[in-house]
Amino acid sequence: MSQPSSSSDPETPESELEESLNILEKPLKNGKKVSEANGEAHGLDDYIQMGGYVLLVCLAAELLILPQVSSMFYMMYAGAAPRVLSCDNTVFDSQLEGKEICFEIDQIGNCSHPNFQYQFKSINVEYNYFCDTSKLVKNSISIQMIGVLTGSIVFGQISDSFGRKIGTQFASIGMFIGWLIVVQSRNLLHFTVSRTILGFFTGGSVSVINVFIMENIPKKHRMWINMAITWSPNMPIYSLFAWIAGDWKTLAYINAFVCLPGFFFFQFFIHESPRWLVTKGKISEAVQVLKRQLKTSNQLHLIHEDLEDNLNMEYAKTVKQNTRKTKFSYYHLFVTPRLAITTAALAYSYWATSIINYGVLFNMEKLSGSIYWNSVWTGLMRYACNLSFGWADLKFKRIGRKFIHTSGLVIIFISLSVVVACYALHMNHEMKDVIRISILLASSMTSQIYIADGIVANELFPTPIRTIGYSFIQTWNRVGVVCSPFIFYLVSAKKLTLSSATCFQADYWLALPFCCMIFFSLIDTFSFECLLPETKGRHLVEHMPPRHEWWFGAGKVDKIVEEEEDVGEELRPLEA
């Protein structure tokens, strides 16, 4: 059966295991099982009910999500390429698109004194990056995302080893200091290094907070809470911050300030996750935390005298199922066929979704209209879809994780197909507003896909490797972010090497990134539908699969299975 928690102390004496198992035996001697006291089954999920403390967790999540949005969407403004109005003595036609102006500059061969028009004073404007040289800023974004990727991996281990709360607080402080370093940047190199450091802590914050939320909200309310407390409603707020700031340095100062409310609120009003405490064997502390949570929610009636015994049963099951103290790592995500398939399918889904989402966001300035309003409309469309699907998930039992995930991909497929058709028919100038709306709609649908992926991951990964699993798929999320700018390089590279006479071939390459996105989304749709189970209404998986199901690292299976049979009957109430 499953192995001990990743957070179990490797030096725990054997007497602790015996003491935990004695808890199981005492109720049986009295002819009554602990988990059936008062006629109710008291699993850990039964103590996590909707109430005041859950609302505090939601508020804390919002206060931590806003800094994440501030960091991840910062380059949408700070990396926005300006429009070139004139170059030396050459004034460009105002009807030309940005790529067409860059093509003209390439024909001129030199532009030493460009005159810019911009909506936000970005790094590009500050350090004179435009047209071909603006690719250096896009490359900088890819490097910055490597920091986010690394942070997701490292903080997965930190959270499982030292706790969800410590991991979250450490990430918040790192983000605050990181923004103060970003402001001191004097060139693109310094800016890239400081943003990469900041990205490390941003990735850590994203990795930890999602697991913490899932472990502290009732299973019935997981979907709608994650739909309501998400990045989408923060996009219009951040657009307002960017509009007020007007330049990248002022916006960085605002971002630093935004990190503080979440840190202090989390410190004084939020407790450590009881699930993590139980997997660490800190039963007394878990009992006290649950009592404080239920007191905050005015639900003290849920506390019975068998509370500590029930938590001891949870811990005893984890320890007894494998007497070897194992430190879990990323390779445990692949120890069984089911875990390997789950990990691969979710990792790909995150990667493909990030290609679509960030490919659009980091090139938002290329769309017609205001960069601020485009961001606002994207956020509002995302949030409207989130709330609609969150309500439907709560109202209708048949609408589950798969429906929400697949419906988003279907809309993306239709929207991007419209864009490709416009370019293929050479109607991109006449249909620019249709292209703009279709691209923004496709980007908006990625929000519900991210949420569905995150919920399914937390519902399928066992508690000992839940944070590790989530941080692993977040790593592939960041790999997608790193790759997204390079897909659009196919457009500009081909455009600059073609003459204006070969417009058909240029249009073909302009549509190529969207063709790639359609291909990726189709693979995501079939893999998610065919390889993963529906998880709506399921309890979180508390324990690792049985060792005899492992592909590798199972050790002496026969001995372990024999030991597990000794307590099979005592643990069966928990398995039910």
Q: Which tens digit of pLDDT belongs to each residue from 450-479? A: 888 888 887 888 877 887 887 788 778 878
pLDDT at 319: 66
* Per-residue pLDDT band at 278 (split at 50, 70, 90): confident
pLDDT at 30: 38
Q: How far is CA 125 from the centre of its chain?
A: 31
Percent with pLDDT over 90 in the chain: 15
What does pLDDT average to over the chain?
76
Instruction: Go through 197-221 and write b for each residue having 16 or more CB atoms within 10 A of its CB, e for each that does not.
Output: bbbbbbbbbbbbbbbbbbbbbebeb
* Per-residue pLDDT band at 11 (split at 50, 70, 90): very low
More confident residue, 114 or 74: 74
- Taking the C-alpha atoms of residue 460 and residue 533, their distance in angstroms, rounded to an integer, is 9
pLDDT at 177: 94
Q: How far is CA 225 from the centre of its chain?
A: 15
Tell me the domain boundaries of the chain.
Answer: 332-544
Angstrom distances, CA of residue 475 to CA of 145, 172, 290: 10, 19, 32
The pTM is what?
Answer: 0.69
Percent with pLDDT over 70 in the chain: 77
Query: Phi first, then psi: what are they for 84, rounded to 5°?
Result: -90, 115
One CATH from 3.40.50.2000, 3.40.50.150, 1.20.1250.20, 2.10.60.10 for 332-544: 1.20.1250.20
Tell me the one-letter amino acid at 38. Answer: N
Q: Is the pLDDT of residue 314 over 90?
A: no
The residues facing 115 across adjacent strands are: 86
pLDDT at 138: 81
**Is the sign of the CA dihedral 560, 565, 568, 570 positive or negative?**
negative
pLDDT tens profile 409-457: 999 999 989 988 888 887 777 787 888 888 888 888 888 888 888 888 8
Tell me the one-letter amino acid at 193. Answer: V
pLDDT tens profile 17-68: 444 444 444 443 333 344 443 434 456 666 777 778 888 888 988 899 999 9
CB-based contact 200:147 (threshold 8 Å):
yes
pLDDT at 37: 39
CB-based contact 558:18 (threshold 8 Å):
no
- Taking the C-alpha atoms of residue 477 and residue 450, their distance in angstroms, rounded to an integer, is 9
pLDDT at 119: 85
Average pLDDT over residues 69-93: 82
